[in-house]
Structure 1
């Protein structure tokens, strides 16, 4: 997870909306790995949805905050900028009803999509009926053009305008960006600003050279299971009562967020990736999005170290203290790791350097995303309310060797409507979580240790 500390760009519609270092990083990863990771916002309705309603929803999204494309800058060192998209992927409608036991597979299948940031084909809306008479809806988005906060903002705006004509000038689409009146002059000015930002970043990195982040654990080479050359990570979706969740956290001197982190670290430890008393690095995304923020990605990340002890629950009080320390440290540039100050340099570095760095980069071993009480704000489609709302990163099907090389571990994503928790869990280590069955066994044991009662989809 890259961190953003630069000043947000000028509000689009009255200025140019340049890509941030985070946007640029995800763009480079997309060019190297394609759609290896996408975000998914999904709904599960108990009743049928009118296809015309979904068509209107699609039309509002096509004029909204997600409808953006990358415009490269032709001046060296100048940043690319966002412009309204010139096209979108059509609404997908599967006519074959999905049975209950096929729901997770249907949602995962929606991640098989080719995105193109330079045309604006960076999101896809699809739907299918269920055999029980309901409807499944999925919105898959490219991380180049939106983080979770951007998706929720765009969807909330589109749902609020379902009964209005699509208009890019009045909805969230007004924030996407406009071209500069003098393209060459504006790019020359931005190139100068970037070079100055690089100089400031290098000075700050030198000053912070003694600051370190929690270490990762090296991934053991063995066991290596006999798996196919292409593999799909094990994924599960679980519902729990929020009151039960909070009671378990309070019972062990912790918080709602702390319990999520403890579950993630406990699941990672149970996988066998680390031994007793290991320090697990947990990365915690944190939104930096403000009102009318035009940035595609406005998320920072807080890394903490969590102690795993075999056969014991993770210490929630220790997790709470670690999160507080990390949040305090990342508010001060002097205690921010040196690498984070070099993001302006990342944006102007030669492509071959970035590609080499990306090929040697490692994925988070444990990523825990708390989206809070976001589900209720996007659950209502013109009076029809979803039974459940799911938001998660989807680690897509890829080469088994790639998963081993980047050393990816477990991802957890938490959201609630104020009553029910929807927890999405992905085990992306092919040799520790080769199937959903294996992931479910470990996750069930971890829930039992906290006295939680899961309801698996």
Structure 2
């Protein structure tokens, strides 16, 4: 029914969300060097990226209910060399670059910037549309570019099909897929019940209703990153009877409690994890499955055995839950834009105020060699563009954490927003610092 360059249903859903809402989800990679970088090598890596998996963009189907396709996009956005800043300006520069537009259809799909840092070294950052690639995929693209691995995905150039040819082919494929759509309709009720919120918030827990004039005001969610010595992190996890993953989950639950994201009756905090299932030669942009599980934050600073058991159980039960959700994916091309625009992308149990957690685990150090040699600091984080105060991503608050093990450090990047509060970076860092202290951890804070 489909061709090799047909978007997966999840990727088409991501594209529809961008077009319906105007909001863009992106992946940001950051590097910090305590020296000057090799700009020639960075330019070579930049040019190689354009010939890899990010060298593509979405070409929408003109047939109603049709499947969108990938087309080649080898345009070089260029390496942006910024004016030097001092060391304390690195984090602000990363945030500024995170808001520089990317677009999965019209481009640029990605962009790369370099910041000389006075009396310190250099910062580098890469931003790519999440509709075109996920975090694991983007790290893989950089590794390929750094090591000189080239691909020929065979994507056609934009506009390779005539309008008549495109309509005919897409109509034929759409009609062939109707039995799949019929089966998806039969699964809607069970999936709706599966994702039904477990509670409704009372008036005291609901975010304040904003005046109409305030709802469309631009919002930039505060972010922060901490780096913890990997030996210290692993030692603390072992002391608490857990693993690295369990300590991260416990930390997320404790921080979630601070941000008012616990269940009003049970006190449990729901953690929502995207689980990567990317395989070799996988051309999906978002090779992800979702799982969620609830953690009691009360005792996690003393004992992580319960958290460890909850993660194991979630990995088992999550497979079945996601398989059920996949049954409705064929409906994606038929969802009206008016409906899509009112839903947060990938929301599962959103009324339970989950804490988003992306755990990358051990990251191949090759990805840190953007200039040919290993950086001192590296992170992966999710960013969002074009948000307003009434955007579904933040209208009920947001707490999202990304972690990884690389360069001898455990990094955690945070995004946090609560309607009606100050939402400053200092406010976020205070909560993070106090939570680190509860776990007996020390960190370098970006």
Q: When the two structures are superposed, what TM-score results if normalisation uses the length of structure 1? A: 0.84
Q: Contact 2:146–2:372 (CA<8 Å) still a contact in 1?
A: no
Give, in whole Å, the separation in 2 of the partners of 1:207 and 1:223. Answer: 32
Task: Provide the residue aligned with 2:105 in structure 1.
Answer: 118
Does 2:95 align with 1:108?
yes
What are the residue-to-residue correspondences of 1:404-443 with 2, within 5 Å? 406-417=395-406, 419-431=408-420, 434-443=423-432
Task: Provide the residue aligned with 2:280 in structure 1.
Answer: 291
Segment drifting more, 66-75 vs 401-410: 401-410
Does 2:184 align with 1:201?
yes
For residue 155 of structure 1, report the CA deviation from its aligned partner. Answer: 0.8
Does 2:366 align with 1:377?
yes
Q: Deviations over 1:22-74 (max 9, x none)?
A: 21222122123334432101111112123332222221111211011112223
Task: Provide the residue aligned with 1:157 in structure 2.
Answer: 144
Give, in whole Å, the separation in 2 of the partners of 1:140 and 1:404. Answer: 19
The match for 2:292 among 286, 303, 310 is: 303
What are the residue-to-residue correspondences of 1:203-352 with 2, within 5 Å? 203-205=186-188, 211=194, 215=198, 218=201, 220-221=205-206, 229-274=217-262, 277-309=266-298, 313=301, 316-332=304-320, 335-336=321-322, 339-352=325-338
Give, in whole Å, the separation in 1 of the partners of 2:156 and 2:323. Answer: 32
The match for 1:127 among 104, 109, 114 is: 114
Residue 273 to residue 223, structure 1, CA distance change in 2 (3 Å): farther
Task: Provide the residue aligned with 2:17 in structure 1.
Answer: 29
Q: Contact 1:68–1:120 (CA<8 Å) still a contact in 2?
A: no
Segment drifting more, 35-44 vs 403-412: 403-412
Give, in whole Å, the separation in 2 of the partners of 1:405 and 1:456. Answer: 24
Q: Contact 1:403–1:428 (CA<8 Å) still a contact in 2?
A: no
Q: Contact 1:365–1:408 (CA<8 Å) still a contact in 2?
A: no
Q: Contact 2:342–2:392 (CA<8 Å) still a contact in 1?
A: no
Residue 160 to residue 410, structure 1, CA distance change in 2 (3 Å): same
The match for 2:441 among 424, 449, 452 is: 452
For residue 225 of structure 1, report the CA deviation from its aligned partner. Answer: 11
C-alpha RMSD of matched pairs (Å): 3.3
For residue 223 of structure 1, report the CA deviation from its aligned partner. Answer: 6.9
For residue 349 of structure 1, report the CA deviation from its aligned partner. Answer: 2.4
For residue 405 of structure 1, report the CA deviation from its aligned partner. Answer: 5.8
Q: Contact 1:372–1:415 (CA<8 Å) still a contact in 2?
A: yes
Segment drifting more, 181-190 vs 233-242: 181-190
Give, in whole Å, the separation in 2 of the partners of 1:403 and 1:434. Answer: 17
Task: Provide the residue aligned with 1:172 in structure 2.
Answer: 151
Give, in whole Å, the separation in 1 of the partners of 2:255 and 2:220. Answer: 19
Residue 371 to residue 180, structure 1, CA distance change in 2 (3 Å): farther
Give, in whole Å, the separation in 1 of the partners of 2:31 and 2:355. Answer: 26
For residue 267 of structure 1, report the CA deviation from its aligned partner. Answer: 0.8
Q: Per the alignment, in what secondary structure is the counterpart of residue 230 of structure 1?
A: coil
For residue 357 of structure 1, report the CA deviation from its aligned partner. Answer: 4.1
Q: When the two structures are superposed, what TM-score results if normalisation uses the length of structure 2? A: 0.86
Give, in whole Å, the separation in 2 of the partners of 1:109 and 1:353. Answer: 31
Residue 375 to residue 452, structure 1, CA distance change in 2 (3 Å): farther
Q: Deviations over 1:289-324 (max 9, x none)?
A: 000111111111111112233x86385222222222
Give, in whole Å, the separation in 2 of the partners of 1:232 and 1:320. Answer: 34
Give, in whole Å, the separation in 2 of the partners of 1:138 and 1:145. Answer: 17
* Number of equivalent positions: 433
